Amino acid sequence: MSSIPLYHVWQYTDVDRQFWQEHLESWVPARIFDAHTHVNEPRYRVVEMTEEKRRQYWVNEVAEPIGAADADRCYQVVFPGRDFSCLAFGHPTLEFDIEASNASLQIECERRGWYRLAVVRPQWSADRLARELDQPRVLGVKVYYALISHDPTTRDKHLEASIFDFLPHQQLELLNERRAWVTLHVPRAARLGHPDNIHEIRQIRERYPNIVLVIAHLGRSYTLPHAEESLPHFADDEGLYFDNSAVLNPDVHRLALEVLGPRRILYGTDNPVFYMRGRRTWRGRSYINHTNYPFHFNREREPPEVEAQYTLYMYEALRALKQACAIRKLSREDIEAIFCGNAQRLIGTVLQ
């Protein structure tokens, strides 16, 4: 069969079809809910990505915006025969007009039956936030430290910020009152395991217990050491949830299932980034992204015959999750909960 244009420079090829059939077709449940996907119309970019910033961080090279129509088309391609829905939000960066992006995505979510998180700035008043939460199919907010202020030279000006610098108490009070959903990408170079992150998340859970708090990317635990340093601290908090988006390491998935259990983990892709082709390897607390496209970050190329067999990162993430589920001997019911049931249950608590 011929290749299908997917997203950015990526195609959907026979390698991907074969990988899906061999590893995923009989395992991925019939219903999929992606709890972490970015949908942003390209026309709302207000600051162009510079060559300097592309060279700083690999995501800057691959995170081209994807509009709703293309996002929907791509999901139909990569999840053949599946009943798909999602919780969508725009790119949490001031390089986009976030208000226009929110408004556009609102229309698309109502049209397609998706749900939405509003991308919000910490400077917004409670009244401004309430207007977002009042709209149909809006479950809550996506917050991020880069929304504090824009720096044209780096995305990480505020990396070491407190969570409360970009998720202030006046907003938390309203979110708690509304029983809203918050997807939190934790700050700080040390990731979720930083003592201040642990302390501040516990503060949020104690002071604002009605918020549906979802920690993105398993707390940015992309390596096993980061997962070991962080996830056990939250093992006993049954009301704290995690999405597993962008996690490729099967050992991290295994530890998350062991420590958190399958009823606190939500499936997520972090697309469109994870349409990238390739695979990831790990060296202690760091990882190396391999791909077959000559990006600046792609300095450790593999032999052509290896690159020819690369599939999508999102498929590699699914296989890693499958391996971890097998090790933990998860039931079919537990697997279905990760892919859809847990998210649907949380949506019910928001909308009740």
pLDDT of residue 67: 98
Mean pLDDT calculated for residue range 238-264: 98
Sorting pLDDT into bands at 50, 70 and 90, what band is 352?
confident
pLDDT of residue 155: 86
Tell me the CATH number at 199: 3.20.20.140
The predicted-structure confidence for 173-196, as pLDDT tens digits, reads as follows 999 999 999 999 999 999 999 999
The predicted-structure confidence for 30-41, as pLDDT tens digits, reads as follows 999 999 999 999
Q: How far apart (Å, rounded) are the C-alpha atoms in residues 22 and 57?
A: 33
The end-to-end CA distance of the chain, in Å, is 47
Q: Which residues pair with 84 in a beta bridge?
A: 32
pLDDT at 262 over 90: yes
Sorting pLDDT into bands at 50, 70 and 90, what band is 238?
very high
Sorting pLDDT into bands at 50, 70 and 90, what band is 228?
very high
pLDDT at 235 over 90: yes
In sign, the C-alpha dihedral spanning 229, 58, 294, 67 is: positive
Q: How far apart (Å, rounded) are the C-alpha atoms in residues 192 and 201?
A: 9
Q: How many domains does the chain have?
A: 1
pTM of the model as a whole: 0.97
Instruction: State phi, psi for 159 to the nearest 5 degrees.
Output: -55, -40
Mean pLDDT calculated for residue range 80-90: 98
Mean pLDDT calculated for residue range 136-154: 96
Contacts of 91 (CB under 8 A, 6+ apart): 38, 40, 63, 65, 101, 119
243 is in which domain, residue-wise?
A: 4-351
